[in-house]
Chain A
């Protein structure tokens, strides 16, 4: 009779398996065993881990130190990679900058910053064709002017340097006004327009006027942020936000002749 029952159970199991399921007897027996099996397996796992942890403590400690060193290496590589990616993006945008007539774009790296004197040091010099007076730019706009040159390096006075000044035009078209933008040793520039009636307003874009021989025309200088009239001198003045931040300068282009 038990043999007959075994055959019946077998048929039930085979049919259920064929339809991708499990018959009631198999499911119940398996479920019953699993109720006991789960805590036993969990206890054994925990005990095994605990004993393994104790017996392998010295090697685990070494492993942790090794993994920590690996993690530190990975983090540093990751930040290096990020930095290189950013540098690559910056260099690509510099390479895309249009070349001025009679000028050559020399890509340079900023290797020093004299924040107090609003000067930066570049890694290119006379050997690369850089000469005093050459304008220095980033893709967003004008940065300053080369003032000292050695064979392999050069100093640049930023636009924000107190001695910097550049002829600027604002407005364009029929309302175009000419003025001078000066550095004042801070992060902003000062625009002076000597025509009281000149239309200068906030958010106006300032471009180089091209009047001087140093700066080619139509280079972006900055954005007007506030305007007022100095009645004592009959001059319209404005604060201008340049397109660069001294501390963020990494690569620049020198427009050498």
Chain B
């Protein structure tokens, strides 16, 4: 349990660092990867719904902290995305690269949609058009980078398990 928590924390901190240091450098138009979200989704695929919720919550907390805004909107939206990701993964899909990519894409869209529903209760509503465009861009990017992140996660997790 403790090991899982620490491992999640390390993954999320690394994702947060990449988000800050790398994301803007590899942006393509509206497509900016959301490392924190995609890492949370990848981690959630292997976990129970409760663990996925906690992972999504932590990812949202880091995102809200980095941006210093809308903490609740980020935590709730990411929590929902991770729970749905874990549920889809558990019930309907094998974990082939293509399916993984689709799940990351859909969960990012879902996260963006939930964010849009939650944000009016706690903060100013962002421009809906720009938010939708950003979300679609991030969803496509996340769909692509989910595959190498999942492979990396599996390799690290496999190594850790052997150790």
Separation in Å of the B16 CB from the closest CB of chain A? 4
Kindly list chain A residues whose C-beta atoms are within 8 Å of the C-beta of B62. Answer: 29, 33
Name A30's contact: one of B18, B68, B75 (CB within 8 Å). B68
Determine if B79 and A25 form an interchain contact, defined as CB atoms under 8 angstroms apart: no
Determine if B17 and A6 form an interchain contact, defined as CB atoms under 8 angstroms apart: no
Name B17's contact: one of A12, A22, A36 (CB within 8 Å). A36
Contact with A along B11-22 (1 / 0, CB 8 A): 001101110111
Known: A6-B75, A9-B75. A37 touches B65 (CB 8 A): no
Q: Determine the distance from Cα of A13 to Cα of B69 in the docked complex, in whole angstroms.
A: 7
Q: Determine the distance from Cα of A17 to Cα of B64 in the docked complex, in whole angstroms.
A: 12
Main secondary structure of the interface of B (DSSP, over half): helix
Kindly list chain A residues whose C-beta atoms are within 8 Å of the C-beta of B68. Answer: 13, 17, 22, 26, 30
Name A2's contact: one of B17, B73, B79 (CB within 8 Å). B79
Most chain B beta-carbon neighbours within 10 Å: one of A10, A13, A22, A37: A10
Separation in Å of the A206 CB from the closest CB of chain B? 78
Tally of A interface residues using CB under 8 Å: 28
Determine if A10 and B54 form an interchain contact, defined as CB atoms under 8 angstroms apart: no
Does A5 sit within 8 A of B, measured CB to CB? Answer: yes
Q: What number of residue pairs across chains A and B have CB atoms under 8 A from each other? A: 85
Query: Which A residue's beta carbon lies closest to that of B72?
Result: A10
Chain A residues with a Cβ under 8 A of chain B: 2-3, 5-7, 9-10, 12-14, 17, 22, 25-30, 32-37, 40-41, 44, 48
Kindly list chain A residues whose C-beta atoms are within 8 Å of the C-beta of B20. Answer: 33-34, 37, 41
Kindly list chain B residues whose C-beta atoms are within 8 Å of the C-beta of A35. Answer: 13
Determine if A30 and B13 form an interchain contact, defined as CB atoms under 8 angstroms apart: no
Determine if B17 and A25 form an interchain contact, defined as CB atoms under 8 angstroms apart: no
Q: Determine the distance from Cα of A63 to Cα of B56 in the docked complex, in whole angstroms.
A: 50
Kindly list chain B residues whose C-beta atoms are within 8 Å of the C-beta of A2. Answer: 53-54, 57, 75, 79
